[in-house]
Structures are given as structure tokens and as C-alpha cells.
Homo-oligomer: A and B are copies of this chain.
């Protein structure tokens, strides 16, 4: 698979009895039908940190079964290396085209310890690996030198970086600061949906996208415009979602993704795993208004 274009991160509806499999399958099918470039199951938006190993293995298999021809990346992160390796084996058995790995932490990890994790996983992999750099959820901050060390491992194909600045010159400088440490064979994917247009325009190859799992057609239009060099159209398409991105910043994209999925009728209410809770009613009205502002048509 190529690690370019739009990678959709499906929201996983989680109830007291487990993953709502039929709703999850429909969310995956919706992205696949829109023609996204890849689907990444069990990312942060996929709630991986709240699921058991068995639930994760099942979700990985479901994703592959419902993604059609779209390659599936599966998140394998866990706090302990032993569990990561078990998740890797399960993901590969489920037919993952690649895996996504973040250095989750409880005890803060050193740069060397995080490298050791990637090295251990690299040794077991028969598919490519996407490095997941997300300090907010993992508590781990990559130094640029660690990006370089990890990128030199044979399986590493791409790095999912945090949000970039939205000002064009600053975005270019940020992307260049990553590129300077990476081989050409490793792609860079932006996250932080509100900065996707800026990141793609500044030279990122991919968008690892929360919105892509919810509104794949709209996210694809933005991605295609940016990667074709049409920064103006990409920026305009992104700006339609500015009120939604502001809610991402306020409530966290995970809670907003759940609210959007509810508003679109993709999931039932109450599908976030406690202790995480859904957004309060006033916030839900703001989410609905932000979707209306973006001109999103509800699927039912």
C-alpha cells in the first residue's frame, strides 16, 4: 500500500456489551465506498485504548471484512511491549495491510526505551508500520533524532505527526523540520484535522484523519485539492469546518467524533467508553450547527 492521500480513522461505537459491530461495519463501509486511500482501525478515534485484546482483534477483522479493496491499517499500541506484540500478531492474522504504533506510557519513557519498543515490533512485522506521534494522548514526546532512528527501521513507512501551524510559512518550516531527519521513502501524514489543508499544502503526503472516518467525501475533496496543489480550494473546503474544528479543540476530537456520528445517525447515543463521557446538550447543539454550517447532508 501507499501511505499517501486520505487515511480515514473510523470511530468505534463502544457500549457496555462491547463494540457495536453493525454500526461499526457501516462506518467502515461508508469510508470505503467514498474511495479513501486507506482506513486506519483502532486509532485514538477508534477507542483502542479502551478495548480488550479480544475486542481489538475482532474490530480489526471486521474492518478488513468491510473495507473492500481499501487497505486497512490497524492500531496495535499498548502500555506494555508484550501486549503490543500480541496485538501485532492479531492484526496480521486479521489481514492488516499495515500497523499503527504509538509509544503509550504509564511510566514516562526515555527516547531509547521508545526506540526499543519500535525495534521489538519491527522484528516481528511482516507488514509496514506507521509511527504514531501523539504527545497529548500518550504523554510521550518524540525528539527529531528519534524520528530518524525509528524511520531507519525496515518496516517503517510513514509517520503520523501532530497538528502543524496553519500559517503557510510556519507549516512549511514545521514539515521541513521533520523531513530533514527522514529518508525519502518514509511519508509524512498530518493529523489535527483543522491543520490538514495547511499540512498537505506544506508538503505532507497524507492526512491521518478523524473527519475522514465520518465525512469521507468531504475529506477526500479537501485532500485531492491540496495534493493537486490547489491550496485555495483546500483552504476553502477546510474553512467550512472551522466551527467543527473549534469544537474539536474545546471538547477533544474523540468526543466530537462521537457527537458527529450520532448527529449523522451512524451510531446510537452513548457509545463512548466510561470514564470518557459524551458532550453535554449545549455542545451537541453546537456540533449540529457546525455540521449545518459546513453544509453536510445527513445520510438519513
A interface residue numbers (CB < 8 A to B)? 16, 44, 49-50, 79-82, 103-104, 106-110, 112-114, 116-117, 120, 136-137, 139, 252, 254-255, 273-277
Contacts and interface: CB of A to CB of B under 8 A. Distances in A.
Given A80-B50, A106-B49, A108-B252, A274 B139 contact: no
17 contacts: A49-B80, A50-B79, A81-B273, A81-B275, A82-B273, A103-B275, A107-B137, A107-B252, A107-B254, A107-B255, A107-B276, A108-B136, A110-B277, A113-B276, A116-B277, A117-B275, A120-B274
Main secondary structure of the interface of A (DSSP, over half): loop
A277 B81 contact: no
Given A103-B275, A108-B136, A116-B277, 9 more contacts: A49-B107, A50-B79, A82-B274, A110-B277, A112-B277, A113-B275, A114-B275, A117-B275, A120-B274
B44 A107 contact: yes
Instruction: Return the 10 tightest CB-CB contacts between A and B, nearest first.
Output: A49-B106, A81-B274, A117-B275, A50-B80, A113-B275, A107-B254, A81-B275, A139-B139, A113-B277, A80-B273
A199 to B, nearest CB: 22
Contacts of A136: 108
A253 B113 CA distance: 16
Contacts of A117: 274-275
A108 B248 CA distance: 13
Nearest to A112: B277
A213 B125 CA distance: 39
Contacts of A274: 80-82, 116-117, 120
A107 B49 CA distance: 9
Contact of A49 (B79, B112, B113, B114): B79
Nearest to A272: B107
Contacts of A275: 80-81, 103, 109, 113-114, 116-117, 120
Contacts of A276: 107, 109, 113
Contacts of A49: 79-80, 106-107
A277 B44 CA distance: 26
Nearest to A16: B82
Nearest to A277: B113
Contacts of A255: 107
A123 to B, nearest CB: 13
A80 B109 CA distance: 22
Nearest to A52: B83
A75 to B, nearest CB: 12
A117 B276 CA distance: 9
